[in-house]
């Protein structure tokens, strides 16, 4: 109904819809990538499964974006029509060994958020073993230089569950003491990366997804433009810097098929999308999960939806079995089961 009102106003309905709904951004969280299928688990996927996920996203028209792309969007640049963010936490060396070639083959990019203490250890004692090693400063520089990875800050040494949960406030700790501890830790890794790799990240991944009170402002003051949690939700990005903080992410366990995982995210568009068609404007809005994606589609185009919802209007359309969009005789609202591919 809101869209109808926007259409009646007669100017830039699609742009208005974008302004109203924001850009939908799903974020996927990977950790370790290992070849041995017996080692897959909640935080380990095989290279084959990673490749399958990324190929699926590419086939569905998703384009991978980084924190830098999001910051640029807030500052006025465009985002792809269907952005997705691929993230890897903890800075496993196997991300370089196995994930980088897959990103290169599929022409995609990702964010890897490193833990400073791990990087220090493996820079002092290089031991490039994909089974357990973490990225050294040289590895991080190589990933950044590849143009396929943006580097994120995953704390210098707060990737622990004691004495505090990640970088959250300790029980009984004053807010002033907490602020000092959080800022010193995040800043330390920023400075080390600047010194050893020549850049400071603009994205912060909260260890264990624990978001401490007041940390958005602290991160902004430290120069970060974006932060990541582990809350499983799809995000909406606006031209507002605050909308880039505490982004939700979906952990990718190794034991789910690509199709099952994407369905969980609401990205299995061909199975779950809803479509609303307005004949007068040819405007179509497509729902993915709980989010609305504005589109422009000609009447008669085959829709990819299995569930279709048709709203009444001056000359309404319906999406029939097989996903074909065509006019109907009178205003009606209908929900159809099963449809396109
Ligand atoms: Zn982590």
Q: How far apart are the first and last CA of the chain?
A: 28
Record the pTM. Answer: 0.76
Residue with token string 């000092």: 180
Tell me how far apart the alpha carbons of residues 275 and 283 are, in angstroms, rounded to a whole number.
Answer: 10
Distance 179 CA to ligand 1 centre (A): 21
| Partners of 294 in the β-ladder | 285
Lowest mean pLDDT among 34-43, 146-155, 163-172, 332-341: 332-341
Structure confidence at residue 303 (pLDDT) = 40
Q: Where are the beta strands (DSSP E) in 130-273?
A: 149-153, 203-205, 226-228, 235-237, 250-251
Residues whose beta carbons lie less than 5 angstroms from ion ligand 1: 89-90
pLDDT tens digit sequence for 77-127 = 999 999 999 999 999 999 999 999 999 999 999 999 999 999 999 999 999
CB atoms within 10 A of CB 260: 10
Q: What domains appear along the chain, each with residue ranges and CATH number?
A: 1-22+266-341 (no CATH), 27-265 (3.20.20.370)
Distance 207 CA to ligand 1 centre (A): 5
Answer yes or no: are the C-beta atoms of 119 and 151 closer than 8 Å.
no
Higher pLDDT, 146 or 298: 146
Distance 43 CA to ligand 1 centre (A): 10
Distance 44 CA to ligand 1 centre (A): 12
**Torsion of Cα atoms, 146 then 152 then 158 then 160, to 10°:** -70
Give residues with Cβ within 8 angstroms of 25, minimum separation 6: 65, 70, 83, 84, 85, 234, 235, 236, 237, 247
Structure confidence at residue 219 (pLDDT) = 98
Ramachandran quadrant class, 92 (left: phi over 0; alpha: psi -120 to 50; beta: rest): beta
pLDDT tens digit sequence for 313-340 = 333 444 444 444 444 444 334 443 333 3
Structure confidence at residue 79 (pLDDT) = 95
pLDDT tens digit sequence for 226-285 = 999 999 988 999 999 999 999 999 999 999 999 999 988 876 543 333 444 433 333 344
Give residues with Cβ within 8 angstroms of 227, minimum separation 6: 203, 204, 205, 206, 211, 215, 216, 219, 244, 245, 246, 247
pLDDT tens digit sequence for 279-296 = 333 334 444 333 333 343
Higher pLDDT, 37 or 301: 37
Distance 154 CA to ligand 1 centre (A): 7
The predicted model gives 55-72 an average pLDDT of: 96
Distance 33 CA to ligand 1 centre (A): 14
């Amino acid at each position: 109904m809101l869209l109808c009102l926007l259409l009646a106003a007669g100017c830039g309905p699609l742009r208005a819809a974008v302004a109203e709904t924001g850009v939908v951004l799903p974020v996927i969280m990977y950790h370790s990538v290992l070849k041995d299928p017996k080692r897959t688990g909640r935080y380990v996927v095989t290279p084959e499964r990673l490749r399958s996920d990324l190929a699926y996203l590419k086939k569905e028209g998703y384009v991978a974006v980084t924190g830098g792309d999001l910051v640029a969007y807030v500052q006025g640049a465009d985002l792809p029509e269907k952005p997705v963010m691929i993230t890897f936490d903890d800075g496993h060396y196997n991300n370089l060994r196995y994930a980088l070639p897959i990103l290169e083959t599929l022409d995609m990019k990702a964010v890897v958020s490193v833990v400073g203490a791990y990087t220090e250890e493996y820079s002092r004692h290089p031991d490039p073993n994909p089974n357990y090693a973490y990225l050294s400063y040289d590895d991080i520089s190589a990933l950044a230089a590849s143009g396929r990875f943006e580097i994120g800050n995953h704390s210098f040494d707060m990737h622990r569950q004691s004495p505090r949960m990640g970088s959250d406030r300790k029980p009984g700790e004053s807010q002033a003491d907490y602020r000092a501890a959080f800022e010193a830790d995040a800043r330390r890794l920023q400075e080390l990366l600047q010194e050893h790799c020549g850049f400071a990240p603009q994205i912060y991944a909260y260890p264990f997804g624990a978001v401490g009170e007041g940390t958005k402002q602290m991160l902004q003051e430290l120069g970060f433009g974006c932060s990541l949690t582990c809350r499983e939700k799809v995000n909406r990005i606006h031209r507002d810097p605050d909308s880039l903080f505490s982004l939700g992410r979906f952990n990718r366990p190794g034991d789910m098929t690509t199709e099952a995982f994407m369905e969980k995210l609401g990205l299995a568009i061909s199975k779950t999308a809803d479509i609303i068609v307005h004949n007068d404007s040819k405007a179509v809005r497509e729902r993915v999960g709980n989010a609305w994606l504005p589109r422009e589609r000609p009447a008669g185009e085959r829709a990819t939806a299995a569930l279709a919802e048709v709203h009444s209007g001056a000359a309404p359309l319906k999406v029939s079995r097989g996903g074909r969009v065509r006019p109907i005789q009178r205003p009606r609202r209908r929900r159809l089961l099963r449809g396109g591919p």
